[in-house]
Amino acid sequence: MSAQIIDGKEVARQRLSMLADRVAERKNKGLHTPCLAVILVGDDPASAVYVRNKKIACEKAGFESRSYEMPSETTQDELLALVDELNGNPDVDGILVQLPLPKQINSQAVLERILPHKDVDGFHPYNVGRLVVKMPLMRPCTPKGVMTLLESYGVEVEGKKAVVVGASNIVGRPQMLELLLSRATVTICHSKTRNLAEEVASADIVVAGVGIPNFVKGEWIKPGAVVIDVGINRLDDGSLCGDVEFETAKERAAMITPVPGGVGPMTIATLLENTLHAAELHD
């Protein structure tokens, strides 16, 4: 029997609708409209698509969005100056710097320059550190979105064996923390992990975020497992696929996210949830 498809687009639509209601309530009370500032450096096509999708989501939820497009030759000092300006602007609740950045710019230095309470991506070490001690301020968007999906589909996390494939600062490591704080027993795997297939096969919940097409083989999936595919990869023919071998995995899993239409929409919805939270902190 094929797995139930976890529809991230629908869950994200519901979340955006709820956010729109909360923003309307704020306006009725005379509170300011939540404002997200997005900085795009260079002309990477994928990044431009992501920025456009975030702007559309802001419009749907009644948020104000501000876009700052900078040329690819922008220096680190120029970008930091813009971040400082937005940090000091009381009308801006959240700041997002679209990654990747050009080679001449130190991404970590830029991310750390954003004030933690305006870091709606949740990448600042302060925010990651607060997540570690279960006192989150801004939770990283994609891992938080994954947890929202699991909750929306009634997936019981407590006591389950979870395997995270990929150890990036953006997905893997904070995803491990999110699952651990929900009382799962978590194994995080990476390029040096031995017997990766065995690790995946032992998991009740698999979260894949390595950025390699079809890296996690469908035959590795434990029958009845829940599979969350964070990866999104463009193939030579222009089509998109995830990090999990979907067609085989869906015949073994109980639930699985598609690519596209799974985790991606949730990342954007969570970004706006964080922006609203930032606005509430500013009230």
Residues forming the active site:
54, 98, 121
Strands 255-256 vs 4-5: parallel, antiparallel or unpaired = parallel
Q: Please, are residues 140 and 123 in contact by the beta-carbon 8 Å criterion?
A: yes
DSSP 101: P
Asked if residue 62 belongs to a known ligand binding site, the reply is no
DSSP annotation of 71 reads -
Q: Please, are residues 52 and 98 in contact by the beta-carbon 8 Å criterion?
A: no
Locate 2 and state its tokens: 């094929």
Alpha helices in the chain (DSSP H): 8-28, 45-61, 76-87, 107-113, 125-132, 141-152, 172-181, 196-201, 246-249, 263-282
Query: Rounded to whole angstroms, how far apart are CA atoms 97 and 54?
Result: 12
186: left (phi over 0), alpha (psi -120 to 50) or beta: beta
Cα separation of the two ends of the chain: 50
Closest CA to 265 of 82, 71, 57, 115: 57
The answer to whether the annotation marks 232 as part of a ligand binding site is yes
Asked whether 236 and 214 are in contact (CB, 8 A), the reply is no
Tokens for 199?
A: 């690790």
Asked whether residue 188 is marked as a ligand-binding residue, the answer is no
Q: Would you say 166 is a known binding-site residue?
A: yes
Annotated binding site for NADP(+): 166-168, 232
